[in-house]
Amino acid sequence: MSGKKQIKVAAGLGLEEPGPNSPDHSSQNNRNLPEQHQPAKSDLVIRKLLNFGRKLAAGYNKLQISHRGMYSIERLHAYQAYCDKTSTVRAIAVCVLTPVPSLLAIVLIECFPLRDPLLGWEANYMFWIRFYISGVLICIGLTYQATDMVDRVKISLLQRLVMSIVAMSIYVGTVMLVSYLWIFPVPFGIVLGIGPCFAVFLTALIVTIGPTTFKANPGLGDEDETQF
């Protein structure tokens, strides 16, 4: 059928020939557009992913407080001096033997026998002993970490022990109270008790350092806030 006859038949049926502004015609034109003129959705997605990755990396770097946000010249010189003066055997021994006390403590704590949880929180007194001892050791380790990161803080061994005992007493007491009032073992008990424990631990740490030390070192409060 010729083109004129097709137009006449379409007009007789009430149909119109698609014009340049009709939807079908525009969609056909869009399909015929070269690729460079179409929206680059893939490029937009890639840019968003890259921006998200940069923000994620920046946030991760802010959390890395072990080097206080930078590697100073003094620390690099100290590291170079350590490499020059320390033998390979000593360096390997430090890496191998450092975890031994912690592993030994874990093994000894695991030697405490546990009873059936269905017997209740009172019958499982050995669980609370294990929980308490392990928590005290962790808190003592936190005090050493705090003094290593902040040079101007000096805490004696007795002060570390007292702070850890007080903090863990609050921690274990909170979980035991919840067990008495609700259920044993407490679901997410560690998460539940960490708030009061950490608050008491920080308070004890600040009291132990003392207001005199904070007044003599104006930037000490900012350093402690950065570490914790």
pLDDT averaged per 10 residues in sequence order, the chain, 228 residues? 46 48 50 51 83 85 60 78 90 91 89 88 90 90 78 80 89 89 84 81 80 69 60
Domain range for 59: 41-98
Q: What is the pLDDT of residue 129?
A: 92
Q: What is the pLDDT of residue 96?
A: 92
Angstrom distance (rounded) from CA 224 to CA 213 = 12
Same domain, 13 and 123: no
Angstrom distance (rounded) from CA 120 to CA 147 = 40
Same domain, 204 and 129: yes
Kindly give the residue spans of alpha helices, DSSP state H, lying in the chain: 3-12, 23-32, 41-63, 73-85, 88-97, 100-110, 125-149, 157-181, 189-209, 211-216, 220-227
DSSP 8-state class, residue 186: P
Same domain, 56 and 69: yes
Question: CA-CA distances (angstroms) from residue 174 to 40, 98, 177, 178, 197?
Answer: 57, 33, 5, 6, 9
Contact 168, 105 (CB under 8 A): no
Same domain, 114 and 176: yes
| Number of domain units in the chain | 3
Same domain, 116 and 198: yes
Q: What is the pLDDT of residue 71?
A: 62
Prediction pTM value = 0.59
